[in-house]
Amino acid sequence: MTTKRHKFIKLGLLLVIIVACVIIATGFNRKIAASNNETYKSLKTFTDVLEIVEKNYVDEVDTKDLINKAIQGMVHGLDPHSALLPPEAFDELQIDTKGEFGGIGIVITMQKGILTVISPIEGTPAFKAGIEAQDKIIKVDGESTQDMKLWEAVKKMRGPKGKEVIITVVRKGVPKPIEFKLIRDIIPVESVRSIVLKPGYGYIRITNFQANTETDILTELKKMESGKVALKGLILDLRNNPGGLLDQAIKVSDIFLENVKILSIKGRYKKNNKVFKGTPNTPARTYPIVVLINSGSASASEIVAGALQDNHRALILGTTSFGKGSVQTVEELPEGYGLKLTIARYYTPNGRSIQAKGIEPDIVIKHKIIEEDEENDDGVITEADLKNHLEAEPDASDKKETRTSDKKKRSVASKYGKLQLDNLNADYQVMRSLEILISYNIFKK
């Protein structure tokens, strides 16, 4: 085969790949008409640039790698949650939904090109070591994260249990980078823990939404509801809950709601529009509920908080949540690749979009440990801070507000492992919630 013919076939294949990618990025069902000259002019420019790079770049280039980077740039430029997932990243995503993996236990994002911690996961090596929300990760095992993709960073931090990984972070207010030597562990599947604060008043903490979250909550509720003293009130703690599976958020909301709207999803196409409603519960749960949220409460946890708030089923207490109100789907592509694409926004039962806004609590109470001085910290990361974030509504021009949230100031011993009454009794937000539930029952009489 001649070089000229080989080049012609290669460019032809590239053109087919690019056309397919453009079809995907414009909505899966949209057809590119042959008469759309602007589209084909752009594709011609792309192939011309690719050929020039192949011929003239100082080093030899990998054509497939160049195309993948071009696709990644196209998709990621849409919003911070859309991305082309190479096989390794696609595998990592599937591991996340199963809820068990070897790693250090942090939820991270890219903020202005910097690898940034959204929140540590309770009970994990990162949490115990003191890694905090808003820490900027500048190195992993001595390698700079400056040009590292999100999935690459995740892969480097995950690994077999017992193996060490060194994380270097920059923290606001600390003059020098902080180095953490962490021993990887199995990040626990358990996402639900509960305890009775005092007879008749229960506390449930959900750390993230996994495949078994609804089942675990029902198990814990049945224990408390069948106790010697009837359950008079419940605190549902969603603080620092980064989200998880959409269906679990809906099922958890349904535990406390009956025959009312839980969530609606609206996208560009009707096939992505859905309305989720509650179903009758046996037994019906009518006791009062206080839901705790903060800036680390995102996605699925915001769905639950919004559903209970709009249906007047719970009082929301804490600080404004993260503000991720978009829905992603993952399409499997050839050769093990995946395309994660934002297809819709979700809305609370009253039609509110919390995208880049968050759930605002009914009662704003910032976190502090009782008997310790509270110190506020500005600039906690939220959805509105992410580059290319979606607006709450299409074509919305609302200016994002700068919000102050609580500093992640806490006693490590009070946050991981088995729940301890002494630790919860020192948690100001928990104690205020308990006071509200007790007051409600007194006034009800």
Check pLDDT > 90 for residue 25: no
The percent of residues in the chain predicted with pLDDT above 70, rounded, is 82
Same domain? For 221 and 182 the reply is no
The 8-class DSSP code of residue 274 comes to E
Reported as a pLDDT band with limits 50, 70 and 90, residue 404 is: very low
Question: Can you give the pLDDT at residue 211?
Answer: 86
Residue 315, domain member (yes or no): yes
Question: Can you give the pLDDT at residue 185?
Answer: 93
Read off the CATH number of the domain in which 222 is found: 3.90.226.10
Q: Which of 22, 41, 76 is where one domain is finished? A: 76
Question: Can you give the pLDDT at residue 100?
Answer: 63
- Which residues are paired to 144 by β-bridges? 139
Question: Can you give the pLDDT at residue 393?
Answer: 77
DSSP per position, 148-204: --HHHHHHHH---TT-EEEEEEE-TT-SS-EEEEEE-EEEPS--EEEEEEETTEEEE
Same domain? For 321 and 402 the reply is yes
* pLDDT digit string, tens, across residues 218-235: 999 999 999 899 999 999
Residue 198, domain member (yes or no): yes
Question: Can you give the pLDDT at residue 403?
Answer: 39
- 192-201, 243-252, 379-388: segment of lowest average pLDDT: 379-388
Same domain? For 417 and 402 the reply is yes
Q: How far apart are CA 72 and CA 339, in angstroms?
A: 9
User: What is the pTM (predicted TM-score) of this model?
Assistant: 0.71
Question: Can you give the pLDDT at residue 369?
Answer: 75
* pLDDT digit string, tens, across residues 135-179: 999 999 999 999 888 888 988 999 889 999 999 999 999 999 999
Same domain? For 229 and 299 the reply is yes
Between the alpha carbon of residue 362 and those of residues 65, 292, 304, the distances in Å are: 50, 10, 15
Question: Can you give the pLDDT at residue 405?
Answer: 39
Same domain? For 181 and 196 the reply is no
Catalytic site residue from 299, 353, 405, 433: 299
- 22-26, 108-112, 122-126, 423-427: segment of lowest average pLDDT: 22-26
Same domain? For 60 and 206 the reply is no
Higher pLDDT, 22 or 65: 65
Question: Can you give the pLDDT at residue 95?
Answer: 63
Check pLDDT > 60 for residue 215: yes
Catalytic site residue from 324, 340, 408, 415: 324
Question: Can you give the pLDDT at residue 232?
Answer: 96
Read off the CATH number of the domain in which 133 is found: 2.30.42.10
Cβ contact 130:147 at 8 Å: no
Cα radius of gyration rounded to whole Å, the chain:
24
Q: How far apart are CA 182 and CA 439, in angstroms?
A: 44
Same domain? For 171 and 44 the reply is no
Check pLDDT > 90 for residue 206: yes
Q: How far apart are CA 293 and CA 240, in angstroms?
A: 8
Q: Which of 41, 76, 111 is where one domain is finished? A: 76
Give the mean pLDDT of 416-425.
Answer: 79
Question: Can you give the pLDDT at residue 189?
Answer: 60
Residue type, 380: V
Reported as a pLDDT band with limits 50, 70 and 90, residue 284 is: confident
DSSP per position, 61-100: --HHHHHHHHHHHHHHTT-TT-EEE-HHHHHHHHHHHHT-
Same domain? For 10 and 69 the reply is yes
The percent of residues in the chain predicted with pLDDT above 90, rounded, is 59
Residue 236, domain member (yes or no): yes
Check pLDDT > 60 for residue 118: yes
Check pLDDT > 60 for residue 346: yes
Residue 349, domain member (yes or no): yes
Catalytic site residue from 135, 216, 237, 310: 310
C-alpha torsion sign, points 73, 78, 81, 86: negative
Q: How far apart are CA 177 and CA 142, in angstroms?
A: 12
Check pLDDT > 90 for residue 383: no
Higher pLDDT, 24 or 230: 230
Check pLDDT > 60 for residue 386: yes
Check pLDDT > 50 for residue 406: no
Residue 182, domain member (yes or no): yes
Burial label for 1, CB within 10 Å (0-12, 13-18, 19+), is exposed
Reported as a pLDDT band with limits 50, 70 and 90, residue 102 is: confident
Question: Can you give the pLDDT at residue 409?
Answer: 38
Residue 95, domain member (yes or no): no
Give the mean pLDDT of 390-399.
Answer: 66
DSSP per position, 284-353: ---S-EEEEE-TT--THHHHHHHHHHHTT--EEEES------EEEEEEE-GGG-EEEEEEEEEE-TTS-B
Question: Can you give the pLDDT at residue 1?
Answer: 45
Active site annotation includes 299? yes
Same domain? For 107 and 23 the reply is no
Reported as a pLDDT band with limits 50, 70 and 90, residue 374 is: very low
Same domain? For 176 and 217 the reply is no
Q: Which of 149, 168, 187 is where one domain is finished? A: 187
Question: Can you give the pLDDT at residue 188?
Answer: 67
- Which residues are paired to 287 by β-bridges? none
Domain that holds residue 322: 192-328+343-444
Check pLDDT > 60 for residue 298: yes
**Structural domain count of the chain:** 3
Same domain? For 283 and 355 the reply is yes
Same domain? For 403 and 323 the reply is yes
Q: Which residues fall within 8 angstroms of residue 276, CB to CB, at 6 or more apart?
A: 250, 261, 262, 263, 264, 265
Give the mean pLDDT of 293-305.
Answer: 95
Reported as a pLDDT band with limits 50, 70 and 90, residue 33 is: low
Reported as a pLDDT band with limits 50, 70 and 90, residue 378 is: very low
